[in-house]
Structure 1
Amino acid sequence: MFIRSERLFLRPGWPEDWQELLVRIADEAVVKNLAKAPWPYTADDARWFASQEQDARCPHFFITLPSSSRPAEIIGCVGLAQADGEIELGYWIGRDFWGRGYATEAARAVLRLAKVLGHSEVVAGHFIDNPASGSVLRKVGFAPTGRMGRRFSLSRGYEAQTVEHRIALGSPSDCDGGSDEDLAPMRAA
């Protein structure tokens, strides 16, 4: 499965992507904001992640930046996962690409896909010391639930406080479906 957004191309990972993945994610400033990534992040971790099979209902994608002059460059990852019986959105962007709206654009694209896949609600969270991620979630239509949680971070080695968010996507629709009104929560604020 592939997704094209305004500036990005989201695609599945392939085993040969491991070296480029390692270059982007082997940065403590990136990994400390993730729950499931270890620190230090090693070549074996990158090989394992790049070769993961896709789940048809909860796909994950490498976020790439297309160019007419060179191969598309991996700049991050975004995807859906099952978490405690709910569908959860997760993402990361390499530090060299922070602050350019790429996480917001990729998250919107995956939320549109989530609606097509029949998910009516998606959850997400961020560590309390990562307010930039909370900003991304609010821009794509998530609302804080008012609940704080605790989540184990493999890279930190301890449970850290999180802010929980949720978005209602409404009834499933197809890619060509009806009006754009159903996507209002995902529009730029």
Structure 2
Amino acid sequence: MNLTLQTERLILKPFTLNDAPRVVELANDPDLARTTLNIPYPYTIDSAKDWISKHPSQIEEESVYPFAIYNQQDNRLIGTMSIRPNHRHKRGEIAYWIGKDYWGQGFATEAAKRVIKFGSDELLLNKIWAMSLTDNPGSIKVMRKVGMKKEGTLIEHFYKDRKFLDVNVYGMSLR
């Protein structure tokens, strides 16, 4: 299976530990942490190395495929897009974040479309879904642009920073 994916402006490929400093540079942003469920602030080099070091076994086990998103123009890491397949139910969850300097430029949408195609063509999934904090309009926009429809809102579904957070769930059938 080819794990290097390409779009018009992007290259998506597995992370290496060499990416850790750039991951910290991008992820160590309070605005990014506020809009995601799993990124703490501050974000440390140890956090990045720990996260990246888990990827090879996750890919080998086919439990999650985390892709580093590189801008082809300058070959710089700008974010991540992952797909977590559930083979039994033939569905996959996508999750993503993009560095703040790259927000609003269509990079997440472009990467999501390519990872959805990977889920359909390579992983043979029937459905793709994603969730977003209800107060993250950028992520909701990405899900809508790739063709997902809102399936519902999970009230007080996550606990982060000493408060309960609501999430919207979006999905789409591939077949």
The total of aligned residue pairs comes to 165
- Describe the superposition over 1:90-127 as per-residue Cα deviations: whole angstroms up to 9, x where unpaired: 01000000110000000000000000111111211110
Unaligned runs of 5+ in 1: 171-189
Which one of the candidate residues 100, 109, 114 is aligned to 1:95? 100
RCO higher in structure (CA 8 A, sep ≥6): 1
> How far did 1:152 drift?
2.4
Structure 1 counterpart of 2:51: 49
> Superposed, which structure 2 residues align to 1:75-94 within 5 Å?
75-81=78-84, 87-94=92-99
Distance 2:78 2:162 in 1: 25
Give me the CA root mean square deviation: 1.9
> How far did 1:153 drift?
5.3
> Superposed, which structure 2 residues align to 1:111-126 within 5 Å?
111-116=116-121, 117-126=123-132
Give TM-score scaled by structure 2 length: 0.86
Which one of the candidate residues 4, 7, 12 is aligned to 1:5? 7
The share of aligned pairs that are identical, in percent, is: 29
Distance 1:90 1:120 in 2: 17
1:145 aligned to 2:151? yes
1:161 aligned to 2:163? no
> Superposed, which structure 2 residues align to 1:31-42 within 5 Å?
31-42=33-44
Give TM-score scaled by structure 1 length: 0.80
Distance 2:31 2:106 in 1: 18
> How far did 1:57 drift?
5.7
Unaligned runs of 5+ in 2: none
> Superposed, which structure 2 residues align to 1:17-36 within 5 Å?
17-36=19-38
Q: Does the CA-based 8 Å contact 2:133-2:167 persist in structure 1?
A: yes
